[in-house]
Amino acid sequence: MLLRTEGIQKRFGGLVAVNDVSITVNKGEIFGIIGPNGAGKTTFLNCVSGFYTPEKGKVIFNDQDIKNLSPTQLCNKGIARTFQIVRSFPKLSALDNVKVAVIFGGKEKQNPEKRAKELMDFVSFPVSQDIIAENLNTMQLKRLELARALATNPQLLLLDEVAAGLTPAELPDFIDLIKRIRDWGVTIIVIEHVMKFIMESCDRIAVLNFGAKIAEGTVEEIKNNPKVMEAYLGEEHVH
């Protein structure tokens, strides 16, 4: 077990955005979190990454309660995250974006340029590493974002809707990359709306609805869970 949450709660005024959520993520897993829009997925991830402190419950990482630690402290302990809205330094080159992450978040102080290049190769960055970040397309930005997150040598990587905005043609390579990151020794939690991504990459899945966990299990178990279908039915009709 790498990460465990025990009954965590996060409210915004009268709204309970995350309600009594307990999950267990094992080392080496790709763990998916799904649920309709507004279900509390991003808020949950923010509780795990230290951006929010839950009012109730525990967040246990490597047998230590990390609930009151800051994002920077958690980064040093080995938790990295990406954002639903991709953030980069738009005026720097792609490579320099990663170099900054290596210098400020990584352990490789001797040769950050070499490390940054290795990471760009690892994520199969598809165009010149010298391109200025503001000129990158979505798929290129996603890979850059992953390289920057990996620069901090995480044990646990939190990905918020990384597949959003990718074309169906770009998806298989991206799923393959996520699996390679896992095989590299990084445990991964993914929030995702793209079901193909979830079904093909996740070992286990938790489903949130109105802030609460309504199911947890393998892909097969979740697919056949009537509560999950019910939660999604409303959404499916809308789309």
Which residues make up the interface to Mg ion (CB under 5 A)? Answer: 42
110 binds, among ligand ADP, Mg ion, none (CB under 5 to 8 A by kind): none
32 binds ligand ADP per the rule CB under 6 A:
no
* Nearest distance, CB of residue 111 and Mg ion, angstroms: 37
* Nearest distance, CB of residue 9 and Mg ion, angstroms: 18
Phi-psi region of 138 (alpha: psi -120 to 50; beta: other; left: phi over 0): alpha
Report the relative pairing of strands 56-61 and 156-160 from DSSP bridges.
unpaired
Options 34-42, 86-94, 129-137, 173-181: segment touching ligand ADP (CB under 6 A): 34-42
Nearer to ligand ADP, 85 or 169 (CB): 85
39 binds, among ligand ADP, Mg ion, none (CB under 5 to 8 A by kind): ligand ADP
Site size toward ligand ADP, by CB under 6 A: 11
37 binds ligand ADP per the rule CB under 6 A:
yes
Nearer to ligand ADP, 83 or 122 (CB): 83
Q: Closest-CB residue for Mg ion?
A: 42
127 binds ligand ADP per the rule CB under 6 A:
no
